[in-house]
Structure 1
Amino acid sequence: MQTDVVKIGTRGSALAMAQAAEVRARLMAAHGLPEEAFEIVIISTSGDRIQDRPLSQAGGKGLFTKEIEEALIDGRIDLAVHSSKDMPTVLPDGLEISAFLEREDVRDVFIGRSVASLEHLPHGARLGTSSLRRQALVLRLRPDLQVGMFRGNVQTRLRKLEAGEADGTLLALAGLKRLGMAHVAGEVMDVEHFPPALGQGAICIESRVGDRRIGPMVAAIHHAPTGAELACERAFLAALDGSCRTPIAGLARAAGDALHFSGMVLSPDGQEVHEIAVDGKVADAVRIGADAGAAVRRKAGAGFFDGWS
């Protein structure tokens, strides 16, 4: 019989809290446990506190996970809930990604202050985003636009848009759905022309390696097809030494035992692009991603990454 409260670590934004609550609900259902068997512990991260500059200038992806992982290592929490796209490819010793929930919609959405689509923004309009990937993809389609930094959670970005700090912005549809805010979405971007961030739409659970209590508990809610897709995408990212300093996009799709992966790297201005598409088996997900990353790196050449990394 479970007696000790399971402590779930998370960031404090509305979206992060919704994701933690979803994990808790799935664990409750899988194990027949009441809500009071779990405690959601809010942990402030460097990424949440730094709002005055792009993450690429402040230290990269680990800014959203470092403090949470420290709490996991020292036992203040039992498991951590993250947005997979925030996770560095190398984790601290003793920690592992132990489960993925079934993936939500992977697409980005455009939200305009007075227009319904990216195409209809007037020449020279301002688009706000903190993502180098979104910046590069936007400038690939609309090189005339002015792209500026837009930091903050979903609600903060929408307030900035309403206040006129930009004419449009881009957000993940998955996050809006989890917040019950899908109705604010304007144009839903086609993944063929506007591929998502690697890991977008997937919630992951991080825990201590060899934890006999938490390991079996979270294994019960793991979604294997999402796990295969993310294993491929993370291997692609690792092969490119992916960070917040390089615009990288991609998506793996598992169907039965088959897996399709497409990925790209872009220059920050969106004018140089190197793409790849590969089909293979789910069982080879990591190799497919790693090989695709190595192939794109060869295509682009070392100088491609040296210019802004």
Structure 2
Amino acid sequence: MKNITKWQHIVPRFYLKEFKNEKNLIEIYDIIKKKFNPPKGTKPLCAEYFYYAAETGIQDTISQEVEAFFQNYETPISNFIPFIKEIVLGNSEITFDEKYILSLLMSMLYLRNNKTRSHIKHLTSDISSKTLKGILNVKGKDRFFSDYERDTGIIIDQKERDEFLLNLEKDFFKIEVDNIPHIEFLSKIPNFANLLCSQNWIIYISRIDENFITSDTPIISKNLENWDTQFGVPALAKSYFFSLTPKIFIRTYYDTQNTKKATKRKNLYNLSDAKIVKELNTIIAINSEKLLFGRKQLDLKKVLT
């Protein structure tokens, strides 16, 4: 019988292990409870039972198909990380292919996390509600309800009709959405990687005692100032922040004035550069969902003070 993966990681273990200390544990700060949790290994972190099922926690074939899908990315990328660390820290040139593989890692971490899932489910629910309003507007109330009763065999009395119409009009009516829209969106990992790879990058390298931290939301996106439309900020116009290891941090950005896409290093040698590490760590901390992770508890304390 084929093995079933029940405990499914939102943030993959091969990435989290980069933040393990000499005891093979990761320091944890609970943002919600505002306290430090006991340090742990990677297995219990950022995972839920059947997270990639249509309904979280309920076993189905979809959850296992997603696991198999991720293996196509995780195995080669996990083997690539030691190589790219050596390249970055050794100041060797970062090729386009190496930048693209890093972009795949960032894309995978960004699209599979819980914040992205919640956002996609919210958008899907909102679009469904607007579609329902459109159908009601075209058909009219009487035909709308008569068609529903004919198709479902469920009779709706006048009180229920009035309550439904009021809730829909006031946006009190929310359509429950399962995980399928998010799971389908995972197929866009290569597309989003292309977007990240097309941006400018600054790679910060901490050569001082200060370490970068990570979280249950490893990739943070921020909107550029004075850039917005009626449809929101385009994904390409956002800046993305990512701690690859305690010593390597990547910031991407879109430069409207420069079409040449650059990848630059910024070595942090001086004690005065500790401010830069804290600023980048703070962006991770204030935009993450529930948990912060660090190699040392002191790394987390410095962000919180």
Return the structure number with greater relative CO, CA threshold 8 A, min gap 6: 2
Q: Which has the higher strand share?
A: 1
Q: Which has the higher helix share?
A: 2
TM-score, normalised with respect to structure 2: 0.24
TM-score, normalised with respect to structure 1: 0.24
Q: Which has the larger radius of gyration?
A: 2
